[in-house]
Amino acid sequence: MATRIDRVVSSGVLVIDSTDSTDSTDHDNGAISRQVENNTWIVGDDEEVIVIDPAHDAAAVLDAVGDREVLAVICTHGHADHVTAALDVAQRDEAPIALHPDDQMTWREVHPEDDPEIDMADGGVFEVADVRLEVLHTPGHSRGAVCIYWRPGLCLSSRKADGRYHRRRLRHHNPATGRARGARTARG
């Protein structure tokens, strides 16, 4: 069976602790809220999948998964707009949730009673269908941010669904350092 990547785009409200934003609603506590759209990636075949970044809408993600088994849920970082539906998606098939430990505090802002079962680390590997997904620790957006490296030329990242970064195309990846040289952004 051929491996494929399905994408689900969902929208929700992200509340952040900053006044450095546009198109937002101010709150009395200094926080602002912003309407956001996020990508959820479903990697697998006709039998099994790994779900990456189940954002706002568990029902939409599970509808796209269909009757395939969810082997794991990977969160590329702990911000609410990437983890809100993680527990509901994982629960259906009792799949473990993976998150880099540097984003535990951020995760707990959304899910204070439940911790992910897998502490991801740079170089960690997930397997689904006939592919190997490697974890690349890429702090910056958050301390525990990761990208999921699939094959030469394709790395799934934690970017928003606004068309800027759906996938990252890589010209060269060095597995020893976990770094890519000559990266360029690809749409769609």
Higher pLDDT, 37 or 100: 100
Q: What is the pLDDT of residues 42-78, one digit of tens each?
A: 999 999 999 999 988 999 999 999 999 999 999 999 9
- Single-letter code of the amino acid located at 153: G
Q: With respect to residue 66, please indicate whether it lies within any of the assigned structural domains.
A: yes
CATH number at residue 100: 3.60.15.10
Give pLDDT, residue 154.
74
Q: With respect to residue 24, please indicate whether it lies within any of the assigned structural domains.
A: no
Length reported for the chain: 188
Residues 6+ apart with CB under 8 A from 24: 32, 33, 34
Q: Residue 58 gets which letter from DSSP?
A: H
**Number of domains forming the structure of the chain:** 1
Give pLDDT, residue 32.
79
Give the residue numbers spanning the domain of 171: 4-18+31-186
pTM attached to this predicted model: 0.77
C-alpha–C-alpha distance, residues 154 and 177, integer Å: 17
Q: With respect to residue 74, please indicate whether it lies within any of the assigned structural domains.
A: yes
Check pLDDT > 60 for residue 186: no
Residue 151 tokens read as 């094959």
Give pLDDT, residue 142.
86
C-alpha–C-alpha distance, residues 10 and 185, integer Å: 21
Q: What is the mean pLDDT of the chain?
A: 79
Position of tokens 């051929």?
2
Check pLDDT > 60 for residue 91: yes
Q: With respect to residue 26, please indicate whether it lies within any of the assigned structural domains.
A: no
- H/E segment holding residue 169: strand 167-169
